Amino acid sequence: MTEQNHLLEEVLQEDKSLTDKQRQILIAATEMFAEKGFAATSTNEIAKKAGVAEGTIFRHYKTKKELLLSIVTPMMVKMLGPIIIKDMNKVLDKEYEHFEDFLRAMIKNRKEFLEKNLKVVQIFLQEIPFHQELREQFIEHVGKKVLNRFVQIIEHYQQKGQIVNIPATTIIRLTASTIMGHFATKYVIGAKWNDDEEINQMITFLMKGLAPEE
C-alpha cells in the first residue's frame, strides 16, 4: 500500500477533513476495484474490508459510482501537474538541449508516477471502457492539454533538426506506444529484466527510428 498508492495517500492526508473511516473506505475500495473490477465488487465487501458499516459508505458517497470517481478523478487531475507545469516548461527552452535527454527525463518521470500509483492506474485502465464519465473526464483533463503541449515540444526538436519531419502526432504516437509497451510488458506481463538496459535499448530504438532523413 505505502509504496503503491502515493497519490491516494496524498489525497487521504492532504484532506484533513476526512475521517479515519473515510480513509479506510477509500483504501478498501481501491484494493477491491483493482482486484475484482468495479461491477464485481459489492459495497458490502468494501464495508467489511474497511471495518465500517455499509451505511457509512453511502453517508459520504451518494452512489457506488461516485465512490469510483472519487478515487480515479484526483489521479487525472494530478497527472497534469508534473507533465505540464513543471517538466514541460523546463524542457521546452532550457534544460534539455537534445531530444534524447527529454525522452530520458520523460520516461523516468512517468515511471515514477506509475510505480507510485499502480492500483489507481489499474482501476482507471480497467474501467474506462465501461464508463463514459471517465472517458469524458480524461479527454477534458488530460487529453487535449497534454497533446497540445507535446506537439509544441516535438516541433521544437524538429526545428532544431534533431528528429524527422513527419507529423508531430505520428511521432507522439510512435513514441508513446513504445514507452507504454515497455511498461505493459513490465507490469502486466511481469517481465523480469534489467530495467536500465531495457530503457537504454528503447531509447536507442526511438532515436534511430526518429532520426532525420539524410
Partner DNA sequence: AATGAAAGTGAGTAATCACTCACTATTAAA
Partner DNA sequence: TTTAATAGTGAGTGATTACTCACTTTCATT
Three-point CA angle 145, 179, 126, nearest 5°: 75
30-49: which residues touch DNA (CB under 7 A)? 41-45
For residue 101, give the nearest of 54, 157, 167, 44 by alpha carbon: 157
Tell me the per-residue interface mask from 2 to 31 with DNA, x by CB under 7 A, - otherwise: ---------------x-xxxx---------
Residue 56 contacts which entry, its own copies, DNA, none (Cβ below 5-8 A, type-dependent): DNA
101 neighbors 207 (Cβ within 8 angstroms): no
CB of 182 to DNA, least distance (A): 35
Could you tell me which stretch among 65-73, 84-92, 106-114, 196-204 binds its own copies (CB under 8 A)? 196-204
| Long-range pairs, 179-182, Cβ under 8 A, ≥24 | 179/106, 179/107, 179/110, 182/107
Q: Does 184 bind its own copies (CB under 8 A)?
A: yes
- Residue nearer to its own copies on the CB measure, 114 or 176: 176
Of residues 17 and 194, the one with the C-beta less far from its own copies: 194
Residues 69-108 binding its own copies (CB under 8 A) are none
User: Minimal distance in Å, beta carbon 14 to DNA?
Assistant: 16
Collapsing DSSP to helix, strand or coil, 203 comes out as: helix
- Rounded CA separation 169/92 (Å): 17
Residue type, 191: A
Cell numbers given for 52: 465500517
Which set of grid coordinates corresponds to residue 2? Answer: 505505502
- The binding track of 60-99 with respect to DNA, each residue x by CB under 7 A or -, is x-xxxx----------------------------------
Q: Which residues bind DNA (CB under 7 A)?
A: 17, 19-22, 41-45, 52-56, 58-60, 62-65
